[in-house]
Structure 1
Amino acid sequence: MGITITATVTTLVGSFILAGLDAAWCVLWPSLAALVVVLVSRSALVGLLVGAVCGAILLSEGSMLGAIEQLCLNQFGPIFGSSWKLSAMLFTLILGGFVALVEAGGGLQGLVRRLLGSERAAHRRMQMTVFGFGLLVFFDGLANVMLIGRLLRSAADRCGVSREKLAYLADTTGSAVACLAFISTWIAFQLSMIREGFALAGREDVSAYGYFFRSLPTNYYCWFALILALVCVWRGFNPGPMGAVERTARESMTSGADRSSELHASHWGLAIVPIAGLTFSIPVLTYVIGSETLWPFSLSKFAAAYGSAERYVPQILVASSLLASFVAAVTYAMALRARAEQDPSLLHGVAPRRRSAESASCIFIQGVREISVPVLILVAAWMLGAAISQLGTATWLCECLQGWLPLALLPAGTFVLGAAISFSTGTSWGTMGVLMPLAIPVIYSLTAGELDLERDRLVVAAIGAVFSGAVFGDHCSPFSDTTIVASIAAGVEPVNHVWTQLPFALIAGAVALVCGFIPLGFGLPALVCCGAGALVLGCLPRVWKRSCIG
């Protein structure tokens, strides 16, 4: 406690001192202060709040009253004026109630028991189930990490899979799959940034979708992060702190927990129906809202509908979670009635419908209450992000590094710069928004005398590098909202999630740089680079045998 107070006071005093200086590098101070306090206090909430206050002090130029005004009016207040952030909070809270209903109905226990099969293979099958769910919920990163972590954490405990491993698998599949998917809540923003970059380069006649598809093989970090997650699951590869928490989880697994859960297990269909309702209502509602005509159906029309419905995505997430919660309440009532038929004392003389409604509402509210405190961490992260944005941290980093690299190393430099911006700001979308409009015009200006084919190759590489760097830094950052939501959903401290996930992110990032972007810049085909990186990742368990847990 004492060292936390010392670190907090030191960073705040340092902010007042730096506020009087005219040094451009001071824009990095809020991120650094937050990182130090998070590591010292082991509390993401404390560290993020301290970073937000440090940013307010710098923006107010050291004025105490000005800092309070900045904090309240420009960092905290705008959160409740943003439909996206309000919807993210509502979606998270409602999903907490939804999962509580699914768990109480017993269908989840029945589903997990059916998926996992024998106890001997339960540990690996549990992780493959998490990975499979991550690929299935491809349309939104936030929905992915929240749904998977909150739904499967009880099952993970019973199978000896650590909460940290659950958070890692959910977080990795969430952002990486959403960034690669050509139909997702990300795609409209990604395409708009590609168009913006070409517009600034003086090109208005390009197909943003065409360049997005061509950049997919060069989005090395996302591909390698998914491949490494598979290697981790299939070969038991757990480098760094993950190995210790996995051993602890394996040792604490007891068959008694499995037997006690079976007492409340119901038919697996009672879980599939509400989960499928949530999973498919989001793309269906998006298609209905964004498409001018529902029929005839085609994938290209479906993708265009996602772009048209971009501004409605927050409301769609909330509506889908409410609809799914209603379905979960109905299936819970069915499970309760089935149990009452076996044991009438469960109703205590109350009418079955009334008892079911009262019980379902209580369980839903309890689930919302459990997730309400961690949502404060999201609010603190947004407050820090607002300060970082107003200070212009990302723009300053771009200006510092622009023009330092030869043309062949430009994809690698773009990846590293994107990772630095994403890590320090905690936002992958913000990184894309800052870097994409800079990277494409820079390549056009540096390749003025080159052939169009060579210029095109480097542009495609730069687009993949921006996406990869944004997701890589996001996976490493304790300020990222998806990182925080993944840890909240899995039931672990955000700092523990970041600490155990970091070795995986660094390995995938290093392979993306060395096997991907550097040789790609010198002309090696994109698919050859991708294959080389996948081969390196597949061989890691043979070389790094001490990190393998059978």
Structure 2
Amino acid sequence: MDIKRYQGLLWLVAGLLIALIVQFTSQPQWNSKVQRVPVTQDAQGQWTYTQGDTTTVISAQPYTQSPLHPDNLRQAATPPDVEQQWVLIAGEEKPVRLQAYSHQGMASLLPAFLAIVLCLVTREPLMALLGGVISAAILLGRFDLSSDVFIPALATESAAGILILYLWLLGGLMGIWGKTGAAQAFAELMTRRVVRGPRSAKLVTWLLGLIFFQGGTMSTVLVGTTVKPMADKANVSHEELSYVVDSTASPIAILIAFNAWPAYVQALIFVPGVTFLATEADRLSFFFASVPLSFYAVLAILSTFLLSLDKPWFCSAEMRQAMQRARRGEGLNRPDAQPLSAKELHAVTPPADYASHWGEFVWPLVTLIVVAIGTFMFNDSPQIHWAFGAALLLATIMAMVKGMGLRQVMEGFANGWKGVVVASVVLMLAITLGGLSKELGGGNYLVQLLGDKLPFWCLPVLLQWLTMVIAFSTGTSWGTYAVAFPLAMPLVWAVAQSQGVANPELLMMLCFAAVLNGSVYGDQCSPISDTTILSAMTTGCDLMDHVRTQWVPATFAAVGASVLWTGCALVWV
């Protein structure tokens, strides 16, 4: 029997068996963490906490008497009745919030580990993610997958947003561009006027990645859909293109942080008694002051720039082979690759009497960008659905004004929708797995296991690699921030005080940058990350080809950042 042929199935069976054994033989381990959030005292002497428009009167009890105290949790035979409580700690003036969490030890990491291994072994992201989801459901005791897992996941606001944005709007826009030949006309224009070969095509991609500095899914979708037609004509392999698109999305969002990132992150880094983190304005200033220490982001963007210049110094042999294959005209993907975007997205099928024009690509794209940036400026959050909806509406109107019939327009929509169905399902499974992994507490387990084992100068690298593992396992950088920052920042401050660090603020900045950048690395390299999936989808790349060719230069950048953070801690802290 050919074991290699069945190794994916063997891994899947082994993973599910382990999940079943853990479910029936072990209990979740409960612990708690202190969250020091801003509270105020009113005229009547009552402590209150305000979140948004809601103000809550705090009723606190002594920390040692709380059922959520770690000692009380360990002694309890059943899970706590509440998972959050306000308590008073001896020696502190203000109440703090005690948050309970659970994990199942190493088994908490099993679903993400199984999904990643199956991705690498089988190159079938659907099977891999489904295996991860099933194992997570078993560990949580949810054996009715339809009622307990998939229906609740599909019923969420985020799931609806994915279906509307990536399936209907993005798929429809790419389909109508294929039907009108607009993307092809734009590619031909750029080839005549700007792009002279693979190098200039990649440089345009790199520059657009810097311009679209909102980061995350927005940047990958905008850049990927914009550059693919011209990059294809210039014989840029899809492995190269997806790497440049992915590695100029979140890294540039850290460095040019005029986006939603600072507002989200500052809320997670409050530490009582630390004056430079006392107010929201202080924390925002701390964020921007730490930007120059984002060494991973700088090195990642530098490596994509070098690749754009055809200098793949930090790239793998597989990336170099992809470059040579594309330049020889032997295919933009491997012969047996399975791109996430279907062939319908790349078919140019305008009616015989229809005159394609580059303006039908450019003006909807300009509308998309203007609406996204405009809503960000006025609402502090880009309305991506509005932006893509406006672009799709304009592209449709332009096609019909030029004489395309409604039936032909709908054919374009249908082709676009068919082209992104698989990628949308993969994205849905990835988000479902991420939610289940968060419930299992894998991130909390890792932080609890490794959080305070090393001297102060090792803390930046420890936190970097810890968050790299968490983000890689869960496929989300922002989710990793929510787990890591509330634990890491108080830990760093406590270590700085106990070890007599001369410059504790600089150590805090180094560790902050390490968590920020380590999470981005893990998110970028994870095959279950939405940005990784979208980068492969919009550029027409095989998902695992993108993952395998990206992780080598990304890891070079991560190692370089580790050296720089450690050097700074040893020399200046």
CA offset digits 1:360-417 (Å, max 9, x no partner)? 2321232122112221101111221122111100000001111111111211211111
For 1:48-447, list aligned pairs within 5 A.
48-60=129-141, 66-68=142-144, 71-93=145-167, 94-117=169-192, 121-194=196-269, 197-199=270-272, 204-205=278-279, 207-237=282-312, 238-252=315-329, 266-288=356-378, 290=379, 306=380, 309=381, 316-333=383-400, 337=402, 352=403, 355-447=404-496
Query: Where does residue 51 of structure 2 map in the other structure?
Result: none
Greater share of residues in helix: 1
Unaligned runs of 5+ in 2: 27-103, 332-347
Contact 2:475–2:529 under 8 Å retained in 1 = yes
Q: Secondary structure at the match of 2:541?
A: coil
- Measured after TM superposition, the shift of residue 452 of structure 1 is 9.2
Aligned length: 469
Contact 1:52–1:387 under 8 Å retained in 2 = yes
1:3–1:470 distance in 2 versus 1, CA, 3 Å: same
Matched, 1:518 2:566: yes
Contact 2:182–2:356 under 8 Å retained in 1 = yes
User: Percent of pairs identical after alignment?
Assistant: 26
Q: Secondary structure at the match of 1:252?
A: coil
Letter in 2 for 1:477: S
Q: Secondary structure at the match of 2:267?
A: helix
* Distance in 2 (alpha carbons) for counterparts of 1:99 and 1:285: 23
- Measured after TM superposition, the shift of residue 230 of structure 1 is 0.2
* Distance in 1 (alpha carbons) for counterparts of 2:507 and 2:302: 25
Query: Where does residue 14 of structure 1 map in the other structure?
Result: 18
* Distance in 2 (alpha carbons) for counterparts of 1:2 and 1:200: 57
1:484–1:53 distance in 2 versus 1, CA, 3 Å: same
Contact 1:159–1:253 under 8 Å retained in 2 = no
- Measured after TM superposition, the shift of residue 111 of structure 1 is 3.1
Q: Secondary structure at the match of 1:182?
A: coil
TM-score normalised per structure 1:
0.79
TM-score normalised per structure 2:
0.76
Contact 2:7–2:121 under 8 Å retained in 1 = yes
- Measured after TM superposition, the shift of residue 524 of structure 1 is 4.6
- Measured after TM superposition, the shift of residue 472 of structure 1 is 0.7
Query: Where does residue 108 of structure 2 map in the other structure?
Result: 27
Contact 1:15–1:58 under 8 Å retained in 2 = yes
Greater share of residues in strand: 2
* Distance in 2 (alpha carbons) for counterparts of 1:193 and 1:73: 34
Letter in 1 for 2:271: F
Say which structure, 1 or 2, has more relative contact order (CA 8 Å, 6+ apart).
Answer: 1
Q: Secondary structure at the match of 2:567?
A: helix
- Measured after TM superposition, the shift of residue 511 of structure 1 is 1.0
- Measured after TM superposition, the shift of residue 451 of structure 1 is 8.0
- Measured after TM superposition, the shift of residue 99 of structure 1 is 2.3
- Measured after TM superposition, the shift of residue 439 of structure 1 is 1.6
1:320–1:250 distance in 2 versus 1, CA, 3 Å: same
Q: Secondary structure at the match of 2:328?
A: helix
- Measured after TM superposition, the shift of residue 506 of structure 1 is 0.9
CA offset digits 1:139-169 (Å, max 9, x no partner)? 2420211232234333322211111211111
* Distance in 2 (alpha carbons) for counterparts of 1:364 and 1:240: 39
Query: Where does residue 297 of structure 1 map in the other structure?
Result: none
RMSD: 2.7
Contact 1:107–1:265 under 8 Å retained in 2 = no
- Measured after TM superposition, the shift of residue 198 of structure 1 is 2.6
* Distance in 2 (alpha carbons) for counterparts of 1:149 and 1:327: 20
Query: Where does residue 558 of structure 2 map in the other structure?
Result: 509
Contact 2:179–2:349 under 8 Å retained in 1 = no
1:231–1:12 distance in 2 versus 1, CA, 3 Å: same
* Distance in 1 (alpha carbons) for counterparts of 2:355 and 2:242: 25
Contact 1:239–1:503 under 8 Å retained in 2 = yes
